[in-house]
Structure formats: C-alpha cells, structure tokens
Structure 1
C-alpha cells in the first residue's frame, strides 16, 4: 500500500522553528547592542551614541516580541533595519571626528 501525500512537501523551517530562530537571533543582537553600548559609553559619552544603540535595543526587542507572536517576516525586516541603522549611524558619527 502506498501512502497518499496530502500535498507538496514543505521545505525549509516549520513556523515554530522559524519563530525560535528569529527569537534567538533577536536576543543575540539585543545582547550585542547592549554590550556595544556599554563599551562605547566607556570610551565616549556621546548622546548620539546612546541614542543609536538605544534605538537598536528597542528595535531588537520589538523583533523579539514580533517573533514570539509569529510575525517572523516582519521581525526579520525590523531586525535587519536595526542592524543597518546601528552600523550606519556608528560609521557616520565616527567619520565626523
């Protein structure tokens, strides 16, 4: 007897796995942004630096919540925006000195 397949086989991550991956990635980026903020505040006391990394922490926290709610694509977009903004802002501040 052959088993009837209900449809095409899914490839990639299951929704639960996608949520776990995005949640873990958001957590790692949030920790990295916090550490970078602490290190940067040790070397410079710039309000811009605090603001940029503060925004990165907020966005990565938002991505974490979105991932837990199953909005993994939106969370990925928010997380990507967070990283790009933090790196670009840090580069812009460093190039003005």
Structure 2
C-alpha cells in the first residue's frame, strides 16, 4: 500500500480525550477553589471573599458541564474567567484592607 493512499495522521487530542481532560481539570479546580474558600473564611470573614470564590465555584461547575457537552473551548474560557475573577477579587479585597 502506498503512502499516498493513507490519509494524514491526526495530531493532538481526540475530542473524547479533550473532554476528559477538561472535565478532570474543572473538577480539580473546583475542589481547589472550595478548599481555598474554606481556608480564607477561617482567616477572614469577608462576604466579598465568599462571593468571589462562590462565583468561581459556579463557573468551575459550569465549565465541567460544558465539557461534558463537548463545548471544550467555551469551557476553557469559562474556567479561565472563573480563576481570573477569584484572583482579581482576592487582590481587590486585600488591597482594601
């Protein structure tokens, strides 16, 4: 069989692998945000801190659901937005004190 008949090899992840990775990443980040929320509430009793981390938890869960539905690029954007929001909110609350 000649090489001209065989199609080009696909590089990168298959869609199923990409979904699995993003689901696992979303779950790990969701757990990390939850633990960070618990630790931060132990040291400071700020409603703003709880709100920012709560939003990050919601966005992490949304990214998990989006990944399961095959919307991996959108899930990545939502997950990045959640992390950025929590980090920016934490910085803003710390700078106010």
Is 1:16 the counterpart of 2:23? The answer is no
Q: Deviations over 1:36-95 (max 9, x none)?
A: 000011011111011000000000000000001100000000000011110011011001
Aligned to 2:93: 93
Is 1:64 the counterpart of 2:64? The answer is yes
Q: Alignment partner of 1:36: what SS? A: helix
In structure 2, the gaps of 5 or more residues are none
Distance 2:81 2:6 in 1: 40
1:11 Cα deviation after fit: 1.2
Distance 2:80 2:9 in 1: 29
RMSD after superposition: 1.0
Is 1:39 the counterpart of 2:33? The answer is no
Q: How many residues align?
A: 96
In structure 1, the gaps of 5 or more residues are none
